[in-house]
């Protein structure tokens, strides 16, 4: 293993940067899935009948308690063999990543819903608000204030899990480093260092902002 080389770092940097843009794209798609699906699951677990609520809850627990890598590989091979082999690794990986983290965001949303005082529900009932009005005008706005910081932290964690999709061929930063190393038999030190610094540069400011948001919300009265 050779030591650090500025020449190799300059040569590999554009490849790693290309992989970084892929990481951002996967994160964006998976974040939409994680937030939307997580919110739907939280609502189902709060308002659906037991025949619907229990299977959804069990499935989310299964997702939370099995490794992401196993889920990615299982779904990738299942899709390739039984559904549509033309589906891209990007699409499958983003969907699995979003579903995996929806199991966590749903818990944050559920906690936010359960933290709303019962009087809010009773007031909505007293005003004879229909269910959709109760949720969208009363419950969800208050829940979002309580859950936003926690959900954002899950999305940051998800961002750092994107390299897992290297296992099914998503050409993100780690895949780019592996490609360069395979072609040149060197460059892993520089490549992994650059990849780590890009992850840090992207995630640390967001993490600091979310921490400040958590403190601000904790001090607010709502």
- CATH number, domain containing residue 66: 1.10.3720.10
- Other CB atoms within 10 Å distance of the CB of residue 203: 15
Q: What confidence tens digit (pLDDT) does each residue in 90-137 have?
A: 999 999 999 999 999 999 999 988 888 888 777 777 777 777 777 887
Rounded to whole angstroms, the Cα distance separating 157 from 119 reads: 35
Task: Please tell me the predicted confidence (pLDDT) of residue 170.
Answer: 92
Which carries the bigger pLDDT value, residue 92 or residue 186? 92
Residue 76 lies in a domain: yes
| Domains of the chain: total | 1
Window from 18-22, 56-60, 146-150, 193-197 with minimum mean pLDDT: 146-150
Longest dimension (CA), the chain: 73
2 pLDDT more than 50: yes
Q: Which of 101, 100, 52, 57 lies closest to 75, judged by CA?
A: 100
Residue 50 lies in a domain: yes
Residue 1 lies in a domain: no
Task: Please tell me the predicted confidence (pLDDT) of residue 27.
Answer: 96
222 pLDDT more than 50: no
Whole-model pTM above 0.85?
A: yes
219 pLDDT more than 70: no
Contact 215/58 with Cβ under 8 angstroms?
no
Window from 134-148, 172-186, 206-220 with minimum mean pLDDT: 206-220
Q: Which of 211, 79, 95, 218 lies closest to 158, judged by CA?
A: 95
For residue 81, what are the domain limits? 6-219
Q: Within a 13 Å sphere around the CA of 104, how many CA atoms are in the beta-carbon half?
A: 20
Q: Across residues 59-75, what is the average pLDDT?
A: 95
Q: Within a 13 Å sphere around the CA of 78, how many CA atoms are in the beta-carbon half?
A: 9
Computed over every residue of the chain, the mean pLDDT equals: 88
DSSP code per residue over 113-175: HHTS-HHHHHHHHHTT--HHHIIIIIIHHHHHHHHHHHHHHHHHHHHHHGGGGGGGT---HHH
Rounded to whole angstroms, the Cα distance separating 180 from 12 reads: 7
């Amino acid at each position: 293993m050779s030591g650090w080389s500025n020449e190799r770092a300059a040569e590999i940097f554009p490849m790693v940067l290309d992989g970084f843009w892929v990481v951002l794209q996967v994160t964006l798609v998976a974040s939409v899935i994680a937030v939307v699906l997580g919110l739907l699951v939280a609502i189902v677990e709060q308002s659906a009948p037991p025949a619907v609520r229990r299977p959804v809850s069990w499935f989310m627990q299964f997702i939370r308690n099995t490794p992401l890598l196993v889920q990615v590989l299982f779904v990738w091979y299942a899709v390739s063999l039984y559904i549509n082999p033309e589906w891209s690794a990007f699409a499958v990986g983003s969907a699995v990543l979003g579903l995996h983290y929806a199991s966590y965001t749903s818990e944050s949303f559920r906690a936010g819903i359960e933290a709303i005082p019962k009087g809010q529900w009773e007031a909505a009932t007293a005003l004879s608000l229909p269910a959709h009005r109760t949720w969208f005008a009363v419950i969800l706005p208050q829940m979002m204030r309580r859950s936003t910081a926690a959900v954002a932290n899950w999305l940051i964690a998800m961002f750092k899990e994107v390299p897992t999709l290297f296992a099914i061929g998503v050409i993100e930063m780690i895949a780019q480093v592996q490609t360069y190393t395979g072609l040149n038999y060197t460059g892993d030190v520089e490549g992994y260092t650059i990849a780590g610094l890009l992850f840090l540069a992207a995630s640390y400011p967001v993490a600091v902002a979310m921490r400040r948001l958590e403190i601000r919300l904790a001090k607010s009265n709502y």
